Amino acid sequence: MPQDLKSMSKKQLEKLQKDVEKALGALRNKELREARKAAEQAAQKFGYSLSELTDAKPAKSGAKKKSAPSASVAKYANPANATQTWTGKGRQPKWYKEAVDAGKDPKSMEV
């Protein structure tokens, strides 16, 4: 039943799409039932029910998940150019060093 999609109207294509989605859903449900039945049979071979296996908590792995580093908020701003900021962590930027060396109070540059 091959159809030339280019010659079909929008309405026909939408109906075809709905029919395909419906058929895929039915196929998925059938495959899920078959997979569940196979899993139940496999569990029975070992003397368990499927619910006993799925209710069991998995063993914890030794690896811990790392969280993403959080973005630091700017603590200081260059008085001459407010787009230049510094979080107060890491190396001091050149503009900050020059301002402090010139006698500028670091508190006056806080954001």
**H or E element at residue 75:** none
Domain carrying residue 47 = 10-55
Q: CB burial class (10 A; 0-12, 13-18, 19+) of residue 2?
A: exposed
Residue 1 has pLDDT above 60, yes or no: no
Segment 7-19 mean pLDDT: 93
Give this prediction's pTM.
Answer: 0.43
**H or E element at residue 86:** strand 85-86
Same domain (yes/no): 50, 82: no
Long-range contacts made by residues 14-23, C-beta under 8 angstroms, separation at least 24? none
Separation between Cα atoms, residue 11 and residue 15, nearest integer Å = 6
Residue 108 has pLDDT above 70, yes or no: yes
In a domain, 67, yes or no: no
Q: Tell me: the pLDDT tens digits for 56-76? A: 666 666 667 777 777 788 899
In a domain, 15, yes or no: yes
Separation between Cα atoms, residue 47 and residue 83, nearest integer Å = 68
In a domain, 4, yes or no: no
In a domain, 80, yes or no: yes
pLDDT band of residue 31 (cuts 50, 70, 90) is: very high
Same domain (yes/no): 85, 48: no
